[in-house]
Amino acid sequence: MRQHSRLTLTLFDAEERWQFGGRRVTGATVALWVTVAAEVAVIPWDVQRGEADADREAMANDVSQHVTKLPAIGGKMRMKKTRRRTKVMRNENFCRLPSRPELLRSGEWLVESPRRIQFEKTTLGQPTEMAVALTQFFERVVDVPGKKIGLKFVDTIFTGSTFDESHVIGVHDADVILVFDRLGVDVEEVQGGYRVIPLRRFRVGKRSMRDKWRFGRSEDGAYLSPLVVAWSVHRLVERALMMLPTAVVLAPLDGVIPVIINDRYRVNVVAATYDESDDVLLVTRPYAHDDNPGSDMMWRLGHNRHESALMRRMDEADRGVRRKAYRCLKALSRVEHTLVGLTTYHIKTALFYSFDAVVDSQPRWQRDTVDSCFMSVLSQLNQLLSRRHMPNFFANDHDLLDNMEAHHVQRLRTRIAFLVANRSEIVRVLRKRTEAGRPDP
């Protein structure tokens, strides 16, 4: 049979009958595709067991009458005997193979075999500069799916002052909570306001599958770590926003991935998962004044959905009067240096404790004005600070003042008690900050 110095062969099983020069070939047949000048010539080669070499040589001679030496892409195909140039002659006895898509639809699949590797003489050249650039672009920019780090996100929750209409002075804050699937792993309670997610040990073996918790295992490998999960989500967000020049992704701080957009908006990306038993979230962000904000195993309880539902009920009852008072006290705590250390969640907790479940259950106009609501929240804060005990409204076993310095609590209690007893001082502070915040004409 005539051989080519450079030829790519593809073998597959053919169940049909092929006729060459009056010969019929049946059984397992290996067909060779020779592509020359956009034309395809089929060379059947019978490989049935027990076939004599003479029959194979005769068949090869029949085929050689149709396939001759022709110039190929990238060079000339050299024949073993003589060098001649002719065209491929077609006759009625030459049966052509159906196209490749039709072959796949008919169920005749390509066969991988050592014979294909033996006859295949394809040489890969050195990668070009563009090929290297395309590969890097694909790996760093294009191919950024959620499964890249093993996470499967199931929900997205938008919270924060930008979304709950409680924004005050300063940078616009928006919290985007990315909820991922725990894949049925149980949750254990360790202390008030915290949970842990134990994992099974992963043993590396020859037949072991890839660790599905590789994106979040703690250092000892026994728990799902909020810090490791936060860094995994950080890599995902950083790669997803690398083509957005106005977005700056900062390093994770206490389980939060800050993203600054246009030097004005701050988006806090927080990873979380559901705890179906208590209908709460387990978030990577710790509490304010936490004694161990860098814990490698403890997840904080998040009550964002319950808080939003409670705020909506309050707005329906008083048409947003208490929300307005809450925003005033929140802004005052940011500009008044005597209230440093009083967090937004402290004020929101006092607001929740002023909620009347009986009165607020019916949507109707409340007669309380904004000043009475302001004093109500301030008085509630004074009571909680005086007892030095501020239990979380949704998880009473967790004290929000537990890890706060005693002298800071005493300073805040003294200042707020003075404001509650002297309304004139409140008016003076409000007017002072109003004049300071007024823009120049």
Rounded to the nearest integer, the mean pLDDT of the chain is 70
- Verify that 291 and 407 share a domain, yes or no: no
The per-residue pLDDT for 35 is 35
- Verify that 266 and 186 share a domain, yes or no: yes
The CA-CA-CA angle for residues 356, 361, 365, to 5°, reads 85
pLDDT-derived band at 186 (thresholds 50, 70, 90) equals: confident
As a whole number, mean pLDDT of residues 199-221 equals 71
The per-residue pLDDT for 416 is 92
Q: Does residue 213 surpass a pLDDT of 60?
A: yes
- Verify that 25 and 163 share a domain, yes or no: no
Q: Say if CB 88 and CB 68 are below 8 A apart.
A: yes
CA 233 to chain centre: 7
Dump pLDDT digits (tens) for 19-32. Answer: 434 444 444 333 33
Reduced to 3 states (helix: H, G, I; strand: E, B; else coil), residue 258 is strand
- The last residue of one of the domains, among 104, 119, 134, is 119
- The last residue of one of the domains, among 257, 284, 302, is 302
The per-residue pLDDT for 378 is 92
As a whole number, mean pLDDT of residues 83-104 equals 44
Which residues contact residue 437 at a Cβ distance below 8 angstroms, ignoring those fewer than 6 apart?
169, 335
pLDDT-derived band at 66 (thresholds 50, 70, 90) equals: very low
- Of residues 120 and 143, more confidence is placed in 143
- Verify that 439 and 337 share a domain, yes or no: yes
Domain count, the chain: 3
* Any domain includes 52: yes
Distance CA 156, CA 232 (A): 17
Which residues contact residue 263 at a Cβ distance below 8 angstroms, ignoring those fewer than 6 apart?
none
Tell me which residue range forms the domain holding 72: 18-119
- Verify that 316 and 365 share a domain, yes or no: yes
**pTM metric for this prediction:** 0.60
Q: Which residues on adjacent β-strands are paired with residue 41? A: 34
* Any domain includes 282: yes
- Verify that 270 and 381 share a domain, yes or no: no
Dump pLDDT digits (tens) for 337-354. Answer: 888 888 888 999 999 988
As a whole number, mean pLDDT of residues 324-343 equals 88
- Of residues 435 and 123, more confidence is placed in 435
- The strand pair at 29-36 and 39-46 is best described as antiparallel
Tokens coding 419: 């404001």
Q: Say if CB 232 and CB 243 are below 8 A apart.
A: no
Q: Does residue 415 surpass a pLDDT of 90?
A: yes
- Verify that 236 and 329 share a domain, yes or no: no
- Of residues 180 and 91, more confidence is placed in 180
Residue that has been written with the tokens 């240096």 in this structure: 337
- Verify that 429 and 284 share a domain, yes or no: no
The per-residue pLDDT for 367 is 65
Range of lowest pLDDT (191-195, 200-204, 343-347): 200-204
* Any domain includes 12: no
- Verify that 178 and 279 share a domain, yes or no: yes
Q: Pick from 153, 186, 4, 15: which is nearest to 79 by CA? A: 4
Reduced to 3 states (helix: H, G, I; strand: E, B; else coil), residue 117 is helix
- The last residue of one of the domains, among 268, 302, 336, is 302
Output the CA–CA distances (angstroms, integers) from residue 346 to 60, 396, 401, in the order listed: 90, 14, 9
The per-residue pLDDT for 350 is 92
pLDDT-derived band at 381 (thresholds 50, 70, 90) equals: very high
As a whole number, mean pLDDT of residues 178-193 equals 81
Q: Which residues on adjacent β-strands are paired with residue 20? A: 23
- Of residues 344 and 206, more confidence is placed in 344
Tokens coding 6: 């450079």
Mean pLDDT is highest, among 49-53, 138-142, 229-233, 244-248, for 229-233
* Any domain includes 4: no
- Verify that 150 and 286 share a domain, yes or no: yes
If DSSP states are collapsed to H, E and C, what string results for 279-347? CEEEECCCCCCCCCCCCCCEEEEECHHHHHHHHHHHHHHHCCHHHHHHHHHHHHHHHCHHHCCCCHHHH
Long-range contacts of 44-48 (CB under 8 A, 24+ apart): 44/14, 44/18, 44/20, 45/1
* Any domain includes 65: yes
Q: Say if CB 77 and CB 5 are below 8 A apart.
A: yes
Q: Pick from 414, 418, 398, 395: which is nearest to 406 by CA? A: 414
Which residues contact residue 264 at a Cβ distance below 8 angstroms, ignoring those fewer than 6 apart?
171, 172
As a whole number, mean pLDDT of residues 293-320 equals 84
Mean pLDDT is highest, among 41-45, 101-105, 202-206, 431-435, for 431-435
Long-range contacts of 320-326 (CB under 8 A, 24+ apart): 321/366, 321/368, 321/369, 321/370, 321/373, 322/351, 322/354, 322/368, 322/373, 322/377, 323/165, 323/166, 324/370, 324/373, 325/370, 325/371, 325/373, 325/374, 325/376, 325/377, 326/166, 326/351, 326/377
Report percent pLDDT > 70 for the chain: 60
Distance CA 247, CA 240 (A): 11
* Any domain includes 262: yes
pLDDT-derived band at 291 (thresholds 50, 70, 90) equals: low
Element (H, E) at 178: strand 172-180
- Verify that 115 and 53 share a domain, yes or no: yes
Distance CA 288, CA 421 (A): 28
Dump pLDDT digits (tens) for 353-373. Answer: 887 655 555 555 556 788 888
CATH number for the domain spanning 401: value is: 1.10.1410.40
The per-residue pLDDT for 140 is 63
As a whole number, mean pLDDT of residues 307-313 equals 86
* Any domain includes 26: yes
DSSP secondary structure, 337-384, as one string: GGGTT--HHHHHHHHHHT--TTGGGS-------HHHHHHHHHHHHHHH
CATH number for the domain spanning 218: value is: 3.30.460.90
* Any domain includes 137: no
Q: Say if CB 8 and CB 82 are below 8 A apart.
A: no
Distance CA 436, CA 419 (A): 20
Q: Does residue 155 surpass a pLDDT of 50?
A: yes
Q: Does residue 75 surpass a pLDDT of 50?
A: no
- Verify that 332 and 403 share a domain, yes or no: yes
